Structure 1
Amino acid sequence: MEFGEALRYLAEKAGVKLEPIRGQAAGEKEKIYAINNLTSRFYQYFLHSHPVGKVALSYLLKERGLKPATIEEFSLGFAPDNPLALKKFLIDKKKFSPKEVENAGIGYPQGGYFLDRLRGRVIFPLFDHRGNVVGFAGRILPTDPKQDMAKYINTPETPAYHKGSLLYGLHLNKQNIKGKHTAIVVEGELDAISSWQAGIKNVVAIKGSALTEDQVRLLSRFARKAILCLDTDIAGDAAAKRGVMIAQDQGLEVKVAQLKGYKDPDDAARENPEALKEALIKAVGIWDFLIDSVFARFDKKSGEGKAKISREVVPILNLISDKIVQAYYVGEVAKRLEVSEEAVEEQVERKQEGQKVEEGPAFTETPEGKGRRELLEERLLSLGFRYDEALLQDKKLADLIKTPLALRVWEEYLAFRLKHKKFEISRFAKVVPEELFEGFAEMVLTEDFELDNPAEAPKEAGIVRRELEILAIKEKLIELEKEIKKSGKGADKFNQLTEALHNLEETGSQGIILEEER
């Protein structure tokens, strides 16, 4: 019995309720994957091998400037504008039921017909990070007489497809992103495809203007840094700012690339790829970008201008959860406003106090990296339980694991190994205390912690350990900064740790764009 199934069996025997991490929906998702995979090939056939796809193929090749190899790599297709074509293929030939096809979000019954939701459109299959086709996006052709229709439509939400969880292109680029620890984040499918064709092989699209929590959680498995190259005005978009905050809480460093003279990355990649790459290389930190955008709008020389800048900059400073980073930007803002750091600090503290009063007892400051730490610690233990038990016997874990669940589970493992020469997940599961069992099982079973190649577990564990070491140094720096302010002591240690942090963060991260070999 596979160990995940053994855990589920033991949980049922013990009467412990497990969250349906894979649950009953797994069979339904597999059915949708099968339908979508066949449908993707169906659409590709019409694009490449049927006369009705000639206009669509010409549009992709000539108007969008895509190469045949790029079209093939992203499995692009065309949905014929024939109301019976999809039904004949999926229902009559492949014997899926109308309900199954409807549940996949591809078709729907209407007026005695079973219609293709995406008919008459260029098709972009949407893959999850494992390469499953979870849904589709369709773009209307410029020559289509039905121009009053939406330019783009997507598969509706299904058990397999959730728009806010998808990172388009990740299935192709995840190893490249890991290699550079950096993801280039764009908005739409064509932004990602054109950038990829231009040689930027660590790009993903978020299919919107703002990162979601699910997207950040997934992206943080592969990257330490996200460079946003979006059409949206991040400085003026509340949703985009929320996405930045979510990324910060997960420990992702966020930068912003500014395209000048081009409407979007797709436009830049087709007209001047080098300009796009230069913009990515020159990307600025998110806090620099937001603060600069405020200073650019007001006259910092006048008293009124200083007041307006202060009113807009202080809330930005207050968003920075890393106190070391916040202290740096407090100093920078003070210099630019030509006022004392104490004056800016006072405004930030006053804003924080105001938020506490306004938001009430539920507002508490999250410890630096807490969300990120929990994720990393549980991932590290999961790698050991799933793939390589030797990872759990590393004594250095005592200095790295700090969150309650992960620490308790690891301590239970160590106690178990003192009594047993051989480790078996099924035997260990029987002795895990009931109050830990659900968290332990979720840690081991969750799809987020699966590896495509189990042999990479030690390498992956090394990456996770380094990330935990970075968090530990940041936490220590916060303590030292407080000590320095209080007593004036600890500056040498602070400088040593800062250098150590820099070295860790630079490990294996030279460059930000992973281009094809030339």
Structure 2
Amino acid sequence: MKIPESAINEINNRIEIAEVIGRYLQLRRAGSKYVGLCPFHNEKTPSFSVDPDRRFWYCFGCKQGGNVFQFLMKMEGMGFPEAVRKLAEEAGVEIKWEADNFKQDTAKQRYLQLLDRVCKYYSHILFETGEGAPGREYLLQRRISKSVAEKFRLGFAPLNIAPLLKVVHEAGFSDEELVNCGIFVKKERGVRELLSGRLIFPITDFQGRVVAMGGRILGNGLPKYINSPETEIYSKRCHLYGLNVARGPISRENKAIVVEGYLDVISMHQIGFDCCVASLGTALTTEQAKLLKRYATQVILAYDGDSAGAKAIIKGNDVLEEEGLQVTTVVWPEGEDPDSMAARGRQAVEEVLKAKIGIVKFVIQRQLKLTDTTTPEGKENLVKLVLPFIEKIQDPVRRDAYVRELAYYSGFAESKLALYLRRRKHKIDYHPFPEFKAHTRLLNTEEKLFSLCTAHPEWLEQVKKIISPSLIGDEYMRHWFEKLWLLDKQDGPISVTELLGEGASEDDCAKLTEIMAYDRLDSNFEDAIQLASNIRNENLKKSLDRIKYQMFAKMASGNMAEDDPLYLEYMNLQKILRG
């Protein structure tokens, strides 16, 4: 497959790299760049940098970098063609593929297309046919409007699977692909639908692409819910139900409400809480925490009020705090959950949300119900249980506040609790306003000049009068100078994409972006000229040493004349070196 280089460059020039990356993580302006916490490794001090002028990103912590295409490839696990196609659609660039034998529809893309087609079929059944009447009646009973149901692409899987099979077969999909997508299972002859006779909840990725489905039985029967299994395109731990429609509100409000199930999310959206998502079960994962961290710093855990929900809140807090998120939780009235409370109306839910508490207070309140804290043993147990939660809180203000609260309930002196925390072996160091962490590797002269010339291609004309790529000593850098010399650009910085082209290795991306990330804020035209002169002079000195050795050999044999070409070359190089 060959993608025209002109198309790649046009996409790169139209797309704002900081805007694209900003959808995945929080960036803040730092001079001419943007910085943030790297999504590819755990860190507490920002070391991830985005250069909007030269359109590249680089992490000084894990030493990875690249252009906007490489970022999408790493974040989404997609190939280069898929990343180009996605950004081309966004940028409005039409791509004319240059190879007839390129198979554009990869297996993953076909599965996504198939699931989207099946989802549309189920939705048609729910809203436009008699077979979908049980589903419509159920939604009416749950006070879920058609607009909200359509927002989440709900559907209904009829008992008769023949029409669906006809639809997918006519579209060119096979029974094997239906099984691989997780919505059908094999039987001795043919396939069987996994979710027939159920209300369908499509599970999408954050972009809104259907990757799996869940189904709820209407009426009596077990199991109440069936979810499609993990597949090549779906891993339960990596998705949050409803994130595709909630990520905008979450980002605007800087908070996410996390509940347990599909209907919890839908019911919350029905009454206007559009920042609500579900963890597809009760066990929050690190991957889900990282997803939330892209859009907000605050998370409200609103799991059910039963014992399983309480345990999930405690475990979820650990995962979220580890990612540096601020966590609070709500305590629903006895016997209630988000879905049942939503049926009471927005005001009822708002009152519960306003009374949200921190995890430490939640644990204290729960322990007070389970333990007699009037005894010394009970007080000791309370302290031992709660202190580890306080320790995980990164904000020192919140940490101190909870120490005071624990002191109040336990009767222990606040100073002793604080001292105990400080003495713990694995205490957490917190920096409320972490400074951006740049690299410490010193670039050599050739690397510095390369970085300056990509930032200021208007200087290249004068630099070319001083050196040529042949004077670059490092073979790797000589390759990039040769590419730089071929570019004819004066209007703005040279981007990584213009240098890399298609098919660049991850190693090349990382090395090149590390060099281009060189801090050039205090550099000017004179610096670039001086660097070029230094490279030239270094080469001149090497040539002089070589010629001098040859001259001495001639002089020793008595063959050196005043007009000897070797002597004239030596004198000429001396003159150039002296300026």
TM-score (structure 2 length as normaliser): 0.59
1:106 alignment partner in structure 2: 183
Question: Contact conserved, 1:83 with 1:114, CA < 8 A, in 2?
Answer: no
Residues 1:326 and 2:399 are matched in the alignment: yes
Deviations 1:347-374 (A, max 9, x none): 4356x33xxxxxxxxxx6665479x97x
For residues 215 and 44 of structure 1, the distance between their equivalents in structure 2, rounded to whole angstroms, comes to 27
Distance verdict in 2 for CA 1:239–1:280, change over 3 Å: closer
Residues 1:217 and 2:217 are matched in the alignment: no
1:32 alignment partner in structure 2: 111
Residues 1:82 and 2:160 are matched in the alignment: yes
For residues 95 and 226 of structure 1, the distance between their equivalents in structure 2, rounded to whole angstroms, comes to 43
Distance verdict in 2 for CA 1:188–1:405, change over 3 Å: farther
**Residue type at the aligned position of 2:339:** D
Deviations 1:108-150 (A, max 9, x none): 331313221111111011122111111111011115xxx1x31
Residues 1:159 and 2:196 are matched in the alignment: no
Residues 1:426 and 2:520 are matched in the alignment: no
**Residue type at the aligned position of 1:52:** E
Distance verdict in 2 for CA 1:336–1:226, change over 3 Å: same
SS at match of 2:343: helix
Distance verdict in 2 for CA 1:234–1:402, change over 3 Å: farther
| Structure 1 unaligned regions, length at least 5 | 12-17, 354-363, 374-399, 443-518
Deviations 1:245-287 (A, max 9, x none): 2211322111111111442111110134321121112211222
1:345-364 → structure 2 map (5 Å cutoff): 345-349=418-422, 352-353=424-425
For residues 184 and 23 of structure 1, the distance between their equivalents in structure 2, rounded to whole angstroms, comes to 33
Residues 1:54 and 2:133 are matched in the alignment: yes
- Give the CA RMSD over aligned residues: 3.8
Question: Contact conserved, 2:240 with 2:288, CA < 8 A, in 1?
Answer: yes
2:483 alignment partner in structure 1: none
1:96 alignment partner in structure 2: 173
For residues 332 and 441 of structure 2, the distance between their equivalents in structure 1, rounded to whole angstroms, comes to 43
SS at match of 2:300: strand
Question: Contact conserved, 2:305 with 2:332, CA < 8 A, in 1?
Answer: no
For residues 114 and 450 of structure 2, the distance between their equivalents in structure 1, rounded to whole angstroms, comes to 42
Share of identical aligned residues, percent?
A: 30
SS at match of 1:259: coil
Distance verdict in 2 for CA 1:440–1:120, change over 3 Å: farther
Which structure would you say has the larger Rg?
2
Question: Contact conserved, 1:168 with 1:206, CA < 8 A, in 2?
Answer: yes
1:136 alignment partner in structure 2: 213
Question: Contact conserved, 1:235 with 1:290, CA < 8 A, in 2?
Answer: no
For residues 97 and 310 of structure 1, the distance between their equivalents in structure 2, rounded to whole angstroms, comes to 60
1:106, distance to aligned residue in structure 2 (A): 1.7
Distance verdict in 2 for CA 1:270–1:416, change over 3 Å: farther
2:363 alignment partner in structure 1: 290
1:21 alignment partner in structure 2: 77
Residues 1:267 and 2:302 are matched in the alignment: no
**How many pairs align?**
389
**Residue type at the aligned position of 1:67:** S
Distance verdict in 2 for CA 1:328–1:281, change over 3 Å: closer
For residues 441 and 415 of structure 2, the distance between their equivalents in structure 1, rounded to whole angstroms, comes to 40
SS at match of 1:66: coil
For residues 239 and 264 of structure 1, the distance between their equivalents in structure 2, rounded to whole angstroms, comes to 14
For residues 153 and 76 of structure 1, the distance between their equivalents in structure 2, rounded to whole angstroms, comes to 15
For residues 334 and 97 of structure 1, the distance between their equivalents in structure 2, rounded to whole angstroms, comes to 65
2:436 alignment partner in structure 1: 401
Question: Contact conserved, 1:168 with 1:205, CA < 8 A, in 2?
Answer: yes
Distance verdict in 2 for CA 1:237–1:285, change over 3 Å: closer
Distance verdict in 2 for CA 1:324–1:25, change over 3 Å: farther
Residues 1:73 and 2:73 are matched in the alignment: no
2:527 alignment partner in structure 1: none
Distance verdict in 2 for CA 1:261–1:328, change over 3 Å: closer
Question: Contact conserved, 2:256 with 2:276, CA < 8 A, in 1?
Answer: yes
Deviations 1:407-431 (A, max 9, x none): 99x999964545534222135559x
**Residue type at the aligned position of 1:118:** L
2:387 alignment partner in structure 1: 314
1:77, distance to aligned residue in structure 2 (A): 0.8
| Structure 2 unaligned regions, length at least 5 | 13-54, 57-64, 67-72, 83-105, 459-492, 515-579
Question: Contact conserved, 1:106 with 1:116, CA < 8 A, in 2?
Answer: yes
For residues 416 and 24 of structure 1, the distance between their equivalents in structure 2, rounded to whole angstroms, comes to 27
TM-score (structure 1 length as normaliser): 0.66
SS at match of 2:211: strand
Distance verdict in 2 for CA 1:427–1:37, change over 3 Å: closer
**Residue type at the aligned position of 2:165:** K
**Which residue of the other structure, out of 336, 341, 350, is the alignment partner of 1:277?**
350
For residues 394 and 402 of structure 2, the distance between their equivalents in structure 1, rounded to whole angstroms, comes to 12
Residues 1:195 and 2:268 are matched in the alignment: yes
For residues 97 and 295 of structure 1, the distance between their equivalents in structure 2, rounded to whole angstroms, comes to 58
SS at match of 1:105: coil
SS at match of 1:220: helix
1:354-393 → structure 2 map (5 Å cutoff): 367-368=429-430
Distance verdict in 2 for CA 1:210–1:152, change over 3 Å: same
Question: Contact conserved, 1:210 with 1:239, CA < 8 A, in 2?
Answer: yes
For residues 151 and 46 of structure 1, the distance between their equivalents in structure 2, rounded to whole angstroms, comes to 21
**Residue type at the aligned position of 1:333:** L
1:156, distance to aligned residue in structure 2 (A): 1.3
Question: Contact conserved, 1:120 with 1:140, CA < 8 A, in 2?
Answer: yes
For residues 439 and 322 of structure 1, the distance between their equivalents in structure 2, rounded to whole angstroms, comes to 36
Greater helix percent: which structure?
1
1:303, distance to aligned residue in structure 2 (A): 2.4
1:96, distance to aligned residue in structure 2 (A): 0.6
Distance verdict in 2 for CA 1:413–1:112, change over 3 Å: farther
Deviations 1:47-84 (A, max 9, x none): 1222222122212212x222222222222111111243
